[in-house]
Amino acid sequence: MHALTVTEHTDGRKGVGPLIPPLSDTLRPLRQQVFERVRAAGLIPRVQVAKDLGVSPASVTTITSELIESGLIEEVTSPRDGETVRGRPAVALGVRAAAHRVAGMKISDREHTAVIVDFAGNLIADCAVPRRPGPMTLPELLQSIENLLDRVCAKATLARADLSAVGIGVPGFVDSAEGIVLWSSVLSSRGVPLAADAAARLGLPVWIDNDANLVALAELWFGAGRGLSDFAVVTIEHGVGMGFVMNHRIYRGSQRLGLELGHTKVQLDGALCRCGQRGCLEAYIADYALAREATTALNWGHKEGQSIAVLLESLYDHAKAGNATARSIFRRAGRYLAVGLSNVVNLFDPALIILSGERMRYDYLYAAETLAEMDNLTINTGRPRPPIEIHAWGDLLWAHGAAALALSAVSEGLLAANRDMAAQ
């Protein structure tokens, strides 16, 4: 299991957010570029900001003064390297952590998780609540969201009003721009305006997104993807999801519903998927697919009342003990995963593929023969395929991605307001 990787500094400050190379993205307003550069660095001198962005020190001084006056960043003094108390201390810029706090939540089929982070991305509190599987009605979901928020606020010793926004991730088809859940395994109804309904219930601004997108966002802000322009995250849990970062930004497609890798077709008229169609990749490698296969192949009809989690643990134990049928079930799922991953490589040519989610505990899914099969299915260009990393995160990473979604929305809103005020 990997840990979150961040940029460390001598006073303990951590940079978060995409590490966008200098001069590679000049379309965003300079004020936003300056703020994001400070946030990504953790601590950085003004002269370095000017150098990185290729602008005059005077321009940076003007913008940073406005950002300081607005309470978004602050000056931090620390002795220069090799200096004692004598001499003038160095001055650097950092995000003012206490300026805002946001919550991030993941709503899933197995448990609900939440985190609260400050404006600099530092974790204040986290919380996990198990739940019974199966879809919920909208009132039940809103009640669960409210209860979870109150619990994590209590752990952080904060009132709900101390938060500036809430980010929420759910599985399924989510239009993040409109705040609508078109379909989700955790909801019994379709076309739900969850962002607006949750905002009304909580009394706070709410942003929502597909949960796999939020894993990619977590890697982009806090993890292995911070310095990469393009990378893919494939999640394997109750379903199969994918988030794709293109030019340091989450790519969602024209209708904001793209990159549903789990619902790409790998077999005509194949196994039934929970989406109602047949032959989806998810129907061969998600946890319910493995449990269904195990129940049939191992004659586990007597275990029908057991949870999927218990069935999978039993299947994995049998495979580890050498049971040929159990091993063949994982092997078959691994081959289908190889098909899906080779398609990702052939379509997008990412710099890195991250496999994430609870099911990555089952190493048979990414055994050497699986990766070798993926190599055989990938176009032979004479160049090495993208590296693959396994991140067997818990659900708290997904909640961190939801918090990053909220942080991004809050900071962009504040920067836009500052820009409008400056223009008046």
- Dig out the tokens for 399 from the structure: 């909640």
Has residue 10 got a pLDDT over 50?
no
Confidence (pLDDT) at 110: 80
3-state secondary structure the chain: CCCCCCEECCCCCEECCCCCCCCCCCCCCHHHHHHHHHHHHCCECHHHHHHHHCCCHHHHHHHHHHHHHCCCEEEEEECCCCCCCCCCCEEEEEECHHHCEEEEEEECCCEEEEEEEECCCCEEEEEEEECCCCCECHHHHHHHHHHHHHHHHHHCCCCHHHCCEEEEEECCEEECCCCEEEECCCECCCCECHHHHHHHHHCCCEEEEEHHHHHHHHHHHHCCCCCCCCEEEEEECCCEEEEEEECCEEECCCCCCCCCHHHCECCCCCCECCCCCECECHHHHCHHHHHHHHHHHCCCHHHCCCCHHHHHHHHHHHHHCCCHHHHHHHHHHHHHHHHHHHHHHHHHCCCCEEEECHHHHCHHHHCHHHHHHHHHHCCCCCCCCCCEEEECCCHHHHHHHHHHHHHHHHHHHHHHHHHHHHHC
Which has more pLDDT, 176 or 368? Answer: 176
Angle at 343 between CA 190 and CA 224, to 5 degrees: 80
Rounded Cα gap, residues 368 and 285, in angstroms: 17
Q: Is the dihedral of CA 40, 25, 215, 180 positive or negative?
A: positive
Query: What is the residue-averaged pLDDT of the chain?
Result: 88
pLDDT (average), residues 71-99: 79
Has residue 301 got a pLDDT over 90?
no
Identity of the highest mean pLDDT range in 12-21, 76-85, 218-227: 218-227
- Would you state the torsion angle of the CA atoms of residues 103, 106, 111, 113, taken in this order, to the nearest 10 degrees? -20
Has residue 40 got a pLDDT over 90?
yes
Has residue 80 got a pLDDT over 80?
no
Rounded Cα gap, residues 355 and 260, in angstroms: 15
The torsion region of residue 79 among left (phi > 0), alpha (psi -120 to 50) and beta comes to beta
Confidence (pLDDT) at 14: 74
The C-alpha R_g of the chain, in whole angstroms, comes to 23
pLDDT (average), residues 391-409: 86
- Dig out the tokens for 357 from the structure: 């989610």
Rounded Cα gap, residues 70 and 418, in angstroms: 8
pLDDT (average), residues 244-272: 90
pTM: 0.86
Q: How far apart are the first and last CA of the chain?
A: 51
**Within 10 Å of residue 34's Cβ, how many Cβ atoms?**
27
Confidence (pLDDT) at 424: 47
pLDDT (average), residues 307-320: 88
Structural domains in the chain, sorted by start: 7-97 (1.10.10.10), 99-216+399-416 (3.30.420.40), 228-395 (3.30.420.40)
pLDDT (average), residues 267-295: 91
pLDDT (average), residues 55-81: 90
Span 150-209, pLDDT tens digits: 999 999 999 999 999 999 999 989 999 999 999 998 999 999 999 999 999 999 999 999
pLDDT (average), residues 48-53: 93
Rounded Cα gap, residues 337 and 262, in angstroms: 10
1 confidence band (pLDDT: 50, 70, 90): very low
Q: 56, 12, 11, 64: which is closest to 38 by C-alpha? A: 64
- Would you state the torsion angle of the CA atoms of residues 241, 245, 249, 254, taken in this order, to the nearest 10 degrees? -60
pLDDT (average), residues 286-301: 86
pLDDT (average), residues 250-261: 86
Percent of residues, the chain, with pLDDT higher than 70: 89
Angle at 214 between CA 392 and CA 283, to 5 degrees: 65
Confidence (pLDDT) at 271: 93
Confidence (pLDDT) at 12: 60
Q: 335, 349, 339, 290: which is closest to 314 by C-alpha? A: 290
pLDDT (average), residues 310-327: 91
Has residue 3 got a pLDDT over 80?
no
